[in-house]
Every structure is written in structure tokens, then in C-alpha cells.
Amino acid sequence: MKLTQLDIEKFDRYLRNEMEAQEKETFEQRLEGNNELREELTHLQLIQDGLRLDDLQQKKKMLEDWDDEIEEDKKTNLFGIGWKWSVAATILLIVTAWLIWPQKGPGESDLFVSYFKPLELDISGVRSANKDPDNERSNNFKIATRDYIIESYDKAAPALLKVYEEEKDTLMLLYAGIAFLAEKNTDKALDALDRIDVWPEELKDHVMWYKALLFLDKQENEKAKKEFGELIEKEGDYSDKAKVIMEKLD
């Protein structure tokens, strides 16, 4: 089919959604009864997709180049500070590590890293825990839970505390505690978890588990063992993991 400039302009306006309703309807009717015209439209759509893919691939290539630049900059900065300073820093690091190492417990940090995984935030659970499910949750709640979900714990932790202050929803304290713990702010994490004075049954295990891990990270092994011991006794979801950790601690 031979296409004139006017034909192509018409196709373009159709593809760019620039036609008035009446014109669009007439054009679509023409398309329905004309195979050749339909084929031309398919060709143009294919060209559009080809151009799109080409552009996206170019952008991907561009990002790869930038990444190489970033990596290169990092290396330059590392070596650019001068070898004397690098040697001094390394010696200082070795001496510090040597001084600190014997005071640390037998791998509590490793245990914490191996077992600490923030509790997934179940939005439906959180909603149903609300006293008035018909009432839309506050904007602060939405921001706090969003930050928690995308693992932006530094922002999520104080935001969740704020939601607790506003709504007195105990679950928010649990998530705030976990978020603080993810940020390695053990004092604030403990403060949040300790504030859960009335424990709904379904929260108990979670609170005990994260408190146990928190004590592990603080190298307060006796307190950690107490929490793990209770979890083993309860024979709940955390019981098996608690047993393994207890064996390693003993």
C-alpha cells in the first residue's frame, strides 16, 4: 500500500490519541473493513516499539557507563588519599580490632546477623487490628508502613512510634522496635518493645523473639537465654530456631 504524507499523519494522530471522538470512530470503522490499512497500522506500531526499545537500550548502556565512572571514582578516592595515610589507617584498624576482639562474646553478632530478619508487615493484619476498620488510617500510618515495607527503617522507626502515640495501636510498637533494631539502635528498640505492656497473644512470640535477638546483639547473653528459653517452652513458631541458638550459646 502506498502511503501519502496525509495518510501517515492520520495514523500518527490515531496512535498519539489526538483524534476527536467522531474522527476516531470513523477511522476505526475504516480499519475494520480494510486489511491493508490494518497492516499498515501494525507496521507503524512495530516501528514505534522498535524506537522505544532502541531508546531504552541506549539509556541502559548510558547507566552502565556511569556505573563504571562511579566505580573508577571510588578507586581514585581510595588511592588518592596517599599511601602513608592508608598504611596508618590499616595499622590503626588492626590494633583496634586486636584490642576489641577478646572482649567480644563467642560470635553473638554472627548469630544476630544470621537470625535477624525484620518481620514482614502484613497490611491486612494491621488494618484488621484497627479498632475501627471502616475508618481510614491516618496519613502518618501510610507513610510509616510504606517506609517499613521499602525497608527504609531509619525513617520508619520514628514514624511508627508517632503512629503509636496517635492511635495507641500496640502493633506499631512492635514494628517500631524491629525497625530500630534493623538500624542497630538497640536502646530505642528495647524501649519500644518494653512499652508493649499489654501483649495480645499473637504478638507475644514476636516480641520475645526480637527482644532475645536484641540482647544477643548487646551481648547480654543471660537475658537473651531467658527469652529464648521461654520461646522453647512455648513450642511456637520460633521454638526450633531458639533451640539452635541456645545450643550455640551454651
Contacts with other proteins, residue ranges (CB under 8 A): 3, 5, 8, 12, 15-16, 43-44, 46-57, 59-60, 62-64, 66-67, 70, 146, 150-152
For the bound state, the minimum distance from the C-beta of residue 130 to other proteins, rounded and expressed in Å, comes to 22
What is d(CA 43, CA 203) in angstroms, rounded to the nearest whole number? Answer: 59
On the CB side of 175, how many CA atoms lie within 13 Å of its CA? 30
Cβ proximity to other proteins: between 151 and 202 the closer is: 151
Cβ proximity to other proteins: between 151 and 187 the closer is: 151
Cβ proximity to other proteins: between 180 and 228 the closer is: 180
Cβ proximity to other proteins: between 11 and 228 the closer is: 11
For the bound state, the minimum distance from the C-beta of residue 140 to other proteins, rounded and expressed in Å, comes to 15
Do residues 121 and 175 touch, judged by C-beta distance below 8 A?
yes
For the bound state, the minimum distance from the C-beta of residue 16 to other proteins, rounded and expressed in Å, comes to 6
- Cα 62–63–67 angle (5° rounding)? 120
For the bound state, the minimum distance from the C-beta of residue 61 to other proteins, rounded and expressed in Å, comes to 9
Cβ proximity to other proteins: between 9 and 194 the closer is: 9
For the bound state, the minimum distance from the C-beta of residue 60 to other proteins, rounded and expressed in Å, comes to 5
